[in-house]
Copies of this chain bind each other. A is one copy, B any other.
Amino acid sequence: MCIEVVEGFVGELQDANLEKDLALALTKATQQLGFDHFALTLESPSSLETAPAVLLHDYPDEWARVYVSFDLAGRDPVRRACDKSMVGFSWQKLERLIPLTRGDRQMLAVGRECGIGDGYTVPRFLPGTTRGTCTFAVAPGQELPKPGLFAAEIVGGLALVSALEICGDAGRPAKAVLSDRQRDCLLWSARGKTAAETAIILGISAETVVQHLKMARERYDVHCRQSLILSALYHGLIGFGDIFGWRARTRSIAALLDS
């Protein structure tokens, strides 16, 4: 009953090139899953203080007006809770994630007066790039449709991906691919090592490291190390995971089961 909704949503996203398409698909999925409203936000880090990059919703006008005019986004407890959860959460469980002030409760109450009761919010992050939320809400007095929550998690995530693509992740400049060695040098540089240190680590001459970095800069058409690292990071050639290291305490399942 819910799988079909998700699959239908995926099908509609295939052709979604505009926000309008996404909004329509979300509207449909929201109803099919047993929710009354949806709201999708996607912000770029540069607009931390200002507006989200994308804001789609079918909330009642009244609530939207209140929310925007009082700049409630800045104190929205749901938004705060998003920073505490890797998966979607019901608003009923907000208190398990964050402490709720009186103002927070008041804000939720005002939402109820405007026709927004309980909700399920799906947060997603791309560290250093963007973050977004997709919320599905029901009218006051109604319960969240339990069978629809898993589907909401999927639909919300996919909607955010779609929004990101529509929004302009499409700006994918020419991918300057580095050689493996160039990437190695770049990576150790990103980890804070100097060329000399990198040379020792890689077992090659410092001059060679400098040379690799030099050519890497030429590839990306930048003139300094910071920009090289940031470009490579932005284009996905390296990731934060590479930089900060996942020195893992390794537990194979066999070892766990033996104990």
CA distance A253 to B23 in the complex (A): 6
Assess whether A257 is in contact with B20, with CB atoms less than 8 Å apart.
yes
Residues in B neighbouring A48, C-beta threshold 8 A: 239, 244-245
For residue A99, CB closer than 8 A to chain B, the reply is yes
CA distance A227 to B240 in the complex (A): 11
Closest to A6 in B: B150
A1-30 vs B: 1/0 string, CB under 8 Å? Answer: 011001000000000000110011001000
CB contact list, A117-160 vs B, under 8 A: 124-132, 147, 150, 153-154, 157-158, 160
CA distance A129 to B247 in the complex (A): 13
CA distance A256 to B56 in the complex (A): 9
CA distance A124 to B223 in the complex (A): 32
Choose from B147, B229, B248 the contact partner of A52 (Cβ within 8 Å). B248
Closest to A98 in B: B236
Assess whether B126 is in contact with A84, with CB atoms less than 8 Å apart.
yes
Shortest distance from the beta carbon of A23 to any chain B beta carbon, whole Å? 5
Residues in B neighbouring A85, C-beta threshold 8 A: 126, 161
Closest to A55 in B: B248
The bracket for how many chain A residues form the interface is 35 or more
Selected interface stretch from A108-116, A176-184, A203-211: A176-184
Shortest distance from the beta carbon of A227 to any chain B beta carbon, whole Å? 4
Residues in B neighbouring A167, C-beta threshold 8 A: 249
A178-217 vs B: 1/0 string, CB under 8 Å? Answer: 1110011001011110100000000000000000000000
Choose from B3, B23, B55, B246 the contact partner of A257 (Cβ within 8 Å). B23
For residue A33, CB closer than 8 A to chain B, the reply is no
Assess whether A101 is in contact with B52, with CB atoms less than 8 Å apart.
no
Shortest distance from the beta carbon of A189 to any chain B beta carbon, whole Å? 6
For residue A36, CB closer than 8 A to chain B, the reply is no
Give the residue among A85, A103, A229, A249 with the most B Cβ atoms within 10 A: A249
Contact residues of A with B, CB < 8 Å? 2-3, 6, 19-20, 23-24, 27, 41, 43-59, 61, 64, 68, 73-75, 79-87, 97-99, 101-103, 124-132, 147, 150, 153-154, 157-158, 160-161, 164, 167-168, 175, 177-180, 183-184, 187, 189-192, 194, 222-227, 229-230, 233-254, 256-257, 259
